[in-house]
Amino acid sequence: MTSVYTPSVSVPLDAIAFDAAGIKARLLNLYHPCSVVRYDGQIGMVNQAYVGEVETGRSGLEVLATLPPTPLEQLGDPNFRAFHGIKYAYTTGAMAGGIASTDLVIALGQAGLLGSFGAGGVAPARLEAAVQQIQQALPHGPYAFNLIHSPSEPAMERGAVDLYLKYGVKTIEASAFLALTANLVYYRAAGLSLDANNQIQIGHKVIAKLSRREVADQFMQPAPVKLLKELVEQGLISEQQARLAEQAPMADDITVEADSGGHTDNRPLVSLLPSILKRRDELQAKYQYPVLIRIGAAGGISTPESALAAFMMGAAYVVTGSVNQACVEAGTSDYTKRLLAEAEMHDVMMAPAADMFEMGVKLQVLKRGTLFPVRAQKLYEIYRSYDSIDAIPKDERQRLEKQIFKKSLDEVWEGTVAFFQQRDPSQIERASQNPKRKMALIFRWYLGLSSRWSNSGEAGRESDYQIWCGPAMGAFNEWVKGSYLAEPANRRVVDVAHHILTGAAYLYRIQALKMQGIYLPADFSHYQPLPLL
C-alpha cells in the first residue's frame, strides 16, 4: 500500500480568525479553502486547506474540519454555462409586457449572465426595436427572448418566430406551452445543421419553461413527424433539417417552474423538480442523446436558501422572476416597485389570465394595494354566466362600466376593434360571428390594459394594477430587510443575482461544516447582503 503525502503548511497566528466577524469573513472568502482549527483552547478559522503549526512554533494546533474552495461557478451544471456562454448557472425569466426589459437583459448580459426579454404581449414593432437594441449592446450575447404560447392569437406567436429568425436570435425561452406548435418546431428545426464530423449542431437554442410532466415529455422528445412534414411541404425547413429534428430533443434545457408569479400551477418545487429529473433520465435512456438535457429550477427562487435547495436537488441552473420586477432596470413603474418591495409572502392570489381568459387559465398576482384580482374574477364569473354582452342584466352592466371599465362597454368595444385592426384583424372577424367571443375580447381589454397601467404607472388606475407576483417576492423582502436592498432604488438585477448566489455558496459551507460536526452559532446561518464595491 502506498501512502499519500499531504503537505503541512505553517500559518501565521494573525491569519487565524477567532472572532465572529473574522470567521464569517473567511467563510465568505469563497475562492479559498477554509480550515476550522483549535489553538490554545480557542476555535478559529483560517483560509488554508493544509495546516501544520502556527509560525510562532508553539504546538497544539488541531484541525477540526476543512472546506474546499466554493466559487460561484461551481454552483449548477458547468455544461449549462458553457453552452450559453455565461458566467454562472443563473438566469432571469421573461416577465411579459417588457417587464423583463431591454435594460434588464443588457445589464445581465454585460455581467456575463443570461436574461430573457419579456416579449409576451409586446407589439411587433416594439419587439423588433428590442431585438435591435439588445443585439447592438450585446453583439456576442448572452441574451434570450421569450416565445410565449398564444392560443388565442396564433399570428402573434408566428410573428415573433419570424422576427427571431430574421434577426438571428439564437436563444429563446418558450413558456406557457400546453402542446408543441408548428411555430415553435419551425424555430427549432430551422437552426439544425451538421458539422464536418456529421454531428448535429444546434443553431437555435430552446429553454422550455413548464410545470407539467406531460408537457416536459413533448420538449424532451424529438419534434412530431407530422409537424415536420408540414413545414417541409411549406418550404420553411429543408428535408435534412426535418431528419435532424427527428434525432434531437425539442429543448436543450427545461426550466421546471414551481409556485411562481404569472402563469403557474402552484406546484411545490420539492415535488416537481425530482419528478421531471426522473423523467429526463428515462427519456435519455430511450433516445441516447449525445448531450443530456439540463433541468433548471424556477418559482420561489428569491433567497440564498431557495437557490441552494434547488442546486442540492439537482437543478442545473436557477431562474428568478418575481424579484427582478422590483429592480431598477425592470419595465415597471416606481409605484409598482414600491408595492412589490412591501409585499409579504401571503400578499398574492390567483386571477384570470388575459391571454387564456376563455380557457379559465389563471395566473398569480399581487393582491396588496390593488383590486385587480377581485375585479378580474368578477369578469370571469360574468363571462361564464352569460352568452353575450347584451344578455348581462342592466344593473350589472352599469356596475361594470362604473367600477371596472370606467367607460361604456360600447366605447371599450370601439377601442378593442382599433387595437386588433393593427395587431390581429382576424380576432375582430371571429368576434363579429360569435357574441360570446366579443364579450371575451371586451373583458380582455381590462385584463390586458391593467398590466400596462402597472408598468407605465397610469395615474388614477392604481386600484386596477395587475402585478404578476409569487410568494418569492415576500421571501426576498424578508431576507433583505435591514440591508441596502430593502430600498427599491438600490435593487439592481446584477446585485440581486450576485447576493443570491454568494449567499447560496456561503450557506453551503455552513451546511458542509455541520456534516463534519461543526455547529456555528445561529447568526452564522444568515447571509446579509452588503453593497457591492
Angle at 129 between CA 127 and CA 131, to 5 degrees: 70
Sheet containing strand 348-352, strands side by side: 262-263, 362-366, 348-352
Residue 18 · residue 36 · CB < 8 Å: no
Residue 249 · residue 219 · CB < 8 Å: yes
Cell of 130: 428590442
Q: Which of 160-169's residues contact partners 24+ apart within 8 Å by CB, and which partners?
A: 160/119, 160/124, 160/127, 161/186, 161/187, 163/124, 163/127, 163/128, 163/131, 164/131, 165/190, 167/128, 167/131, 167/132, 167/135, 169/131, 169/145
**Type and span of the H or E element at 335:** helix 334-342
**Cα–Cα distance for residue pair 310/287, rounded to 1 Å:** 26
**3-state percent breakdown (helix, strand, coil) of the chain, nearest 5:** 45, 15, 40
Cell of 243: 431528419
pLDDT score at 77: 98
**Cα–Cα distance for residue pair 400/378, rounded to 1 Å:** 9
Q: Is the omega angle on the peptide bond into residue 7 within 30 degrees of 0, that is, cis?
A: no
Residue 466 · residue 355 · CB < 8 Å: no
At residue 254, φ and ψ (nearest 5 deg) are -120, 115
**Cα–Cα distance for residue pair 80/253, rounded to 1 Å:** 8
- Residues 67-83, mean pLDDT to the nearest whole number: 97
**Cα–Cα distance for residue pair 27/226, rounded to 1 Å:** 56
- Residues 162-180, mean pLDDT to the nearest whole number: 96
| Window from 320-324, 405-409, 429-433, 500-504 with minimum mean pLDDT | 429-433
**Cα–Cα distance for residue pair 247/363, rounded to 1 Å:** 35
Q: How many Cβ atoms sit within 10 Å of the Cβ of residue 459?
A: 9
**CB contact burial 383-394 (16+ within 10 A = b; e otherwise):** beebeebeebee
pLDDT at 492 over 90: yes
pLDDT (tens digit per residue) in 279-331:
999 999 999 999 999 999 999 999 999 999 999 999 999 999 999 999 999 99
**Cα–Cα distance for residue pair 242/221, rounded to 1 Å:** 14
- Residues 94-117, mean pLDDT to the nearest whole number: 97
Helix axes 102-110, 124-137, angle to 10 degrees: 20
Q: Which amino acid is at 338?
A: R
Confidence tier at 430 by pLDDT (50, 70, 90): confident
User: Among 298, 294, 292, 293, which Cα is nearest to 318's?
Assistant: 298
Helix (H, G, I), strand (E, B) or coil at 524: helix
Confidence tier at 58 by pLDDT (50, 70, 90): low
